Amino acid sequence: MKERLKTAALLVLVLGSLVQSYFLIYRLPGSDSVVQAETPYIKTEAMGPDEKAENLIYPKKIIIHLGGDKHTVFYPEQMFYDLVYNRLKGREFDSFQRRTVNNMDWTKLRASSKGIELSFGSGMPVTLLQKVMQIKPDSLFEGESIDKMWLYSIDGEPKVHALFFSTEGDVVYEAAQVDLTVQDVHQLVDFGRDWVPYTMEDDASFYLPEEQLSMVSLELPIGMYTVEQMQRSLFFDPSITRNIRERDGSEIYTDSKRSLQVDEKQNWINYTDPAAPPSGDSSPGKDVLSAIDFVNQHGGWNGGYRMSQSKDIEDRTMVEFQQYHRGYPILNTPDFNYGTMKLELQNGTVTSYERSLLYVETDEQKKKIVKLAAGDKLREKIDIMSKKMKIIDLEPVYLPLITESGLWLRPAWAVQLPNGSMKVIE
């Protein structure tokens, strides 16, 4: 009996020692945990679903050059877009050589050669593109961001040219080793032969359809995250926040370090953490991954998105994610803030986070096919606009409008201006 009591007492002492050791290592007041989490952000209340970086990285459109100055354009979620992009993702690109853009007549080459042009918009860090494509590591090339990738063949040549255009504007990189044959490129190009024909405009900055483009006008049921949910998601201790009402009607919640500004008219939030500690090394690619991780941990994703911008401004990185539906971007307008998430990072740490409180449900309602203008009718409208502003691109978009029953997505054409803003063609 005594031996059993001794054994029991010894077991209690051992367990007590283990518990005490745990608190000394992991819960010592005033010190950090010895074991660091893989992510710098703490998982908070689950609102929207998480998303993987690979699902946010893809071209905004694929332009097919058919030769003979004939072209067409594929948009995300279209069958041929997926076929072309998925095949290219499985091919290898290696041994990059740097060249200057001015050495080639690109307009003539687009018109005369067969090829595939992947447009990424404002720029895609190469390190992110390596997550979805088989691009071999290259110390010089990896530090770049590209706005387009172009594969083409020239009649009489046995090789495929694979070019990656830097956002710097005067530099292009060519992969000397490409896991594609001329026949491979021609097969992919042939997918566009019976598609909507597009004309390359005189300055070769955008392509205009010669036949009407079909899109679906629809409504989506909506919900709205509450301010309390966002507080619990963004503040370590929401109970110590205080509320300040601004003259413009917006409200600010702050814990003296961080602030959450809520625009109730627009259902839009702007979270700032100017005292966020620096985390050391950063790069455009790493900052985008940090931004994705932050959204995963603080609100999640309320629909499909594409990484549309990663731009360095002095010691900051601006990252923007564009919301898509049925393969087309939902346009953020001055009258209705919706369709984007914007983050600002310093040294890899998020210091600003903007997003809508609204989210959409998946059930589509009141669907109707709409034909967008094309050919000379569209060209005339663009010509009028081009006299007042420089146009660098043309895109089919969804214009979001709030109705009594939800969010109406109205199809429209929009032009992109040099500063990145979009203007709807009425």
How does pLDDT run across 30-51, given as a tens digit for each residue?
333 222 333 344 445 568 899 9
Q: What is the pTM of this model?
A: 0.86
The span from the CA of 106 to the CA of 103, in Å, is 9
How does pLDDT run across 109-130, given as a tens digit for each residue?
888 999 999 999 888 999 999 9
How does pLDDT run across 46-98, given as a tens digit for each residue?
688 999 999 999 999 999 999 999 999 999 999 999 999 999 999 999 999 99
Strands 171-178 and 145-153: unpaired
Domains located in the chain, CATH noted: 59-195 (no CATH), 222-360 (3.30.310.160)
